[in-house]
Structure 1
Amino acid sequence: MDSAPVVIGFDGSPAAERAIRDSAALLGTHPALVVTVWEAGRSFAAATAPIVGLQPAPIMLDIRGALVAEAREQEVMQITAQRGAQLAREAGYADATGLAVAEDATVAATLIRVATERHSPGLVVGAHGHSRVAEFLLGSTSRALVARAPCPVVVTGPHGS
Structure 2
Amino acid sequence: MNAAPVVIGFDGSPAAERAIRESARLLTAHSALVVTVWEAGRSFEAVTMPISTLQTPPVVLDIRGALEAEAREQEFMQRTAQRGAAIARESGYAEASGLAVAEDATVAATLIRVARERHSPGIVVGIHGHSRVAELLLGSTARTLVARAPCPVVMTGRRSGGPDPE
Common fold: TM-score over 0.5: yes
Q: Deviations over 1:64-93 (max 9, x none)?
A: 111111011001000000000000000000
TM-score, length of structure 2 as denominator length: 0.89
The number of residue pairs the alignment matches comes to 160
1:53-132 superposed matches below 5 A: 60-132=60-132
Q: Which moved more, 1:60-69 or 1:124-133?
A: 60-69
In the TM superposition, residue 55 of structure 1 has moved relative to its aligned partner by: 6.9
| Cα offset, 1:28, TM superposition | 1.5
From the superposition, tell whether residues 142 and 52 of structure 1 become closer, same or farther in structure 2 (CA, over 3 Å). farther
Are the counterparts in 2 of residues 20 and 91 from structure 1 also a CA contact under 8 Å? yes
How far apart are residue 29 of structure 1 and its match?
Answer: 1.1
Question: Is residue 161 of structure 2 the alignment partner of residue 146 of structure 1?
Answer: no
Aligned to 2:13: 13
Superposed displacement of residue 47, structure 1: 3.5
Q: With the length of structure 1 as denominator, give the TM-score of the two structures.
A: 0.92
Q: How far apart, in 2, do the equivalents of 1:145 and 1:51 lie? A: 39
Gaps of 5+ in 2: 161-166
Q: Deviations over 1:38-58 (max 9, x none)?
A: 1111111133335999979x5
Contact residue 33 and residue 98 of structure 1 kept, 8 A: yes
Which consecutive residues of structure 1, in runs of 5 or more, have no partner in the other structure?
none
- Write the letter of the residue equivalent to 1:108: A
Q: 1:52 to 1:127 in 2, by over 3 A?
A: farther
C-alpha separation between the residues in 2 aligned to 1:11 and 1:34? 10
Which residue identity does 1:117 align to in structure 2? E
Secondary structure in 1 matching 2:30: coil
Change (3 A) 1:22 1:43: same
Equivalent residue number for residue 26 of structure 2: 26
Provide closer, same or farther for how the CA distance between residues 85 and 49 of structure 1 changes in structure 2, counting only shifts above 3 A.
Answer: same
Aligned identity (percent) is 80
Question: Deviation string for 1:83-137 (max 9, x for gaps)?
Answer: 0000000000010000000134110000000000000000000000000001111
Q: CA RMSD in A?
A: 2.2
